Amino acid sequence: QVQLVESGGGLVQAGGSLRLSCAASGRTFSSYAMGWFRQAPGKEREFVATISGIGGRTYYADSVKDRFTISRDNDKNTLYLQMNSLKPEDTAVYYCAANRRTITLSTMATMYDYWGQGTQVTVSS
């Protein structure tokens, strides 16, 4: 079992930056591929970015590529999402998720086994 707790959300103006963190419990954090998803009001949950458990391979949604950076610190059991050049359409609840398939980079929410409670990001125009 892995427990995930997100933090770092808030209100920011368009063009600004935020860094989200996701603290994971347990001693096997590096064995999980991790992902960030988001859900805006009235919309389905969508993939944002993913990173492998080891090796640091990453993959991004086209909508955030070159603006967002996913990273992890396996010694601190923490996942990060650095978000730059934020736009109003980035407004959503952001969730981190853990995938037991260590090296699989998946964009599908159904491939992830554990989820955090989410953190709100609001970008004003």
Residue 62's contacts (CB-CB under 8 Å, 6 or more residues apart) are none
- Rounded Cα distance between 27 and 85, Å, is 34
**Sequence-distant (≥ 6) Cβ neighbours of residue 110 within 8 angstroms:** none
Residue with tokens 């989410």: 118
What pLDDT digit, counting tens, does each position of 49-84 carry? 999 998 889 999 999 999 999 999 999 999 999 999
Separation of alpha carbons 55 and 47, rounded Å: 21
Strand-strand pairing, 10-13 and 119-124: parallel
Q: What is the pLDDT of residues 45-54, one digit of tens each?
A: 999 999 999 8
